[in-house]
Amino acid sequence: MNELTELLQQTTHRIFADLCTTEQVKQAEEGQWASALWESLEENGVTRALLPADRGGSDLALSDGVALLKVSGYYASPLPLAEHWLAGLALADAALPMPEGALSVVPGATSVANAIGTHKGVPWGRRLPVVALGGSEAKPRLKVYEHPVVVKESVNIAGEPRDELDLARSECQFDAASSMGAMRWLSLGALMRSAQMAGALRRCFELSSEYAVERKQFGRPLVAFQAIQQELAILAGEVAAVEAAVDAAANAAQNFSNSSEDDGLFDIAVAKARASMAVESATRISHQIHGAMGFTYEHRLHQYTRRLWSWRDEFGTEVYWNTLIGKKALELGGAGLWPFMTRLGGRAPA
């Protein structure tokens, strides 16, 4: 990490700590756009961090960007920073201009053809211009809709806007050939979401261990009970596993840009699958340790656990990514799987 990225990381931490409070997250869940937070991220260059310098960005490596997204997840950020970055990267790749302000994406699914017609689950579709990947598998096209037609406003179980749009009835401002294909689009989104999940998981562990140290029952702190220690250790392991998987995927994905080499893709598949797989036990343990207190609206634990329950389904569930991996394994067969596994994680940067 160089000085710039270190500075950016510190700044991002500070901004979120100051402005992404429990109260702010509540307000966002009531439908309010966290404008002060967004503006501060914009002023400090966070929103453009991944963009090339000629687009006013810091040309941050994907792995450093992922570190910032972990911070945003650690503070349960209600803003679509990942979506904004994904849109920005795709627009830069396609040499399309970048509309002012925050952007969102049609997360798209497995098929490029989905970019036509109505789309559910678009983050902040009611408020932001959206970028979608259309065209065909062979000739993907990037499309920008500055004022998409909203069919229905909706939210995920974390209270984050996930709206249904009708792109066929929306006016498309820009439409250009995309160098980014459907899989790259989906997997970059998955990588970014996994990073947010890693941050939220870390916070769940910290909240749970702090609570276990402070809370006393039977005259002793909870952490003095072996039953609680066992659960905390399992939680710590899940968090560490997700963090490691996300870091490895970010490094591998850095070198995976439109090449046919799909190793980076499988690193991301592992990361998103592992992150989504961790959610069940990590949220269960966190809530169990917090007892009834953590089940109240007042306690902030749910700001993390509800996000995890939502995010594990976005940009591909663990079932989606594990299926991709499972199919690859069957194709490789018993003799081919192990050599494939030892190639995961990519090579050391030169």
**Site residues (CB under 8 A) for another protein?**
206, 209, 212-213, 223-224, 226, 229-230, 232-234, 236-237, 239-241, 243-245, 247-248, 251, 269-270, 273-274, 277, 318-319, 321-327, 329-330, 332-335, 337-339, 341-342, 344-348
Q: What is the C-alpha to C-alpha distance for residues 136 and 193, in angstroms, rounded to an integer?
A: 25
Closest approach of another protein to the CB of residue 202, in Å: 9
Residue nearer to another protein on the CB measure, 50 or 270: 270
Residue nearer to another protein on the CB measure, 226 or 260: 226
What is the three-state SS of the chain? CCHHHHHHHHHHHHHHHHHCCHHHHHHHHCCCCCHHHHHHHHHCCCCCCCCCHHHCCCCCCHHHHHHHHHHHHHCCCCCCHHHHHHHHHHHHHCCCCCCCCCCEECCCCCCHHHHCCEEEEEECCCCCCEEEEEECCCCEEEEEECCCEEEECCECCCCCEEEEEEHHHCCCCEEEECCCCHHHHHHHHHHHHHHHHHHHHHHHHHHHHHHHHHCEECCEEHHHCHHHHHHHHHHHHHHHHHHHHHHHHHHHHHCCCCCCCCHHHHHHHHHHHHHHHHHHHHHHHHHHHHHHHHHCCCCCHHHHHHHHHHHCCCCCCHHHHHHHHHHHHHHHHHHHHHHHHHHCCCCCCC
CB atoms within 10 A of CB 3: 7
Residue nearer to another protein on the CB measure, 46 or 198: 198
Q: What is the C-alpha to C-alpha distance for residues 158 and 306, in angstroms, rounded to an integer?
A: 5
For 127, residues 6+ apart whose C-beta sits below 8 A from its C-beta are 33, 161
Partners of residue 161 on adjacent β-strands: 155
Residue nearer to another protein on the CB measure, 113 or 344: 344
Closest approach of another protein to the CB of residue 176, in Å: 35
Closest approach of another protein to the CB of residue 158, in Å: 24
Residue nearer to another protein on the CB measure, 154 or 323: 323
Residue nearer to another protein on the CB measure, 292 or 350: 350
Closest approach of another protein to the CB of residue 122, in Å: 26
Closest approach of another protein to the CB of residue 118, in Å: 25
Closest approach of another protein to the CB of residue 240, in Å: 5
Residue nearer to another protein on the CB measure, 138 or 227: 227
Closest approach of another protein to the CB of residue 157, in Å: 22
Closest approach of another protein to the CB of residue 188, in Å: 19
Closest approach of another protein to the CB of residue 232, in Å: 5
Residue nearer to another protein on the CB measure, 160 or 243: 243
For 188, residues 6+ apart whose C-beta sits below 8 A from its C-beta are 86, 89, 180, 253, 268
Residue nearer to another protein on the CB measure, 62 or 245: 245
